[in-house]
Amino acid sequence: MIKNIFLFALVFFSLFTVSFFLHQYYLENNDMLLPFSLKKIYLFHFSFSLLICTNFLLLSTVDKIFEQLGFIYLATIAFKLILFCIIFYNPIFTEENLSFTSRLSLFVPMIIFLLTEAIFVAKILKKRM
């Protein structure tokens, strides 16, 4: 279990590092400015995805909860989106004309981490079945 938690941390940290710096490099090369901190967006997704995967690994050992983990995962995704909207309310909702680049810069980290998180949760659920 410790090995899996370390693997989650390593994968998510690597994903954070590579995708953030590539994203930042692309924006700087094309002289694009964002009305929000890209690093904070990536840090939010990194920490929340790591937390979800670690908790699911721990919860998968509890027999009474295991059968409900799929529903719990759906609820955590909804919670993650709501929390994201609350934390980043100003750049998302108060910005008058959010450019396409800014919208895409909000969407890309979410998709990257959500796909990776879903793969890990699916592996956790398959292992027990």
For the stretch 88-108, pLDDT in tens is 887 777 766 778 888 888 889
pLDDT of residue 39: 93
The two tokens of residue 23 are 């994203």
SS3 call for 76: helix
Q: What's the predicted TM-score (pTM) here? A: 0.88
Q: What is the pLDDT of residues 65-78, one digit of tens each?
A: 888 888 999 999 99
pLDDT, residue 106, reads 87
The candidate with the shortest Cα–Cα distance to 106, out of 117, 118, 96, 93, is 93
What's the half-sphere exposure (Cβ side, CA atoms, 13 Å) at 50? 18
User: What pLDDT, on the 0 to 100 scale, is given for residue 45?
Assistant: 95
Query: What pLDDT is recorded for position 118?
Result: 92
> Tell me: the pLDDT tens digits for 39-60?
999 999 999 999 999 999 998 8
Q: What are the CB-based long-range contacts (under 8 Å, 24+) for 14-21?
A: 15/46, 15/112, 15/113, 15/116, 16/42, 16/43, 16/45, 16/46, 19/108, 19/109, 19/112, 20/109
pLDDT band at 129 (very low <50, low <70, confident <90, very high): low
pLDDT score for 95:
66
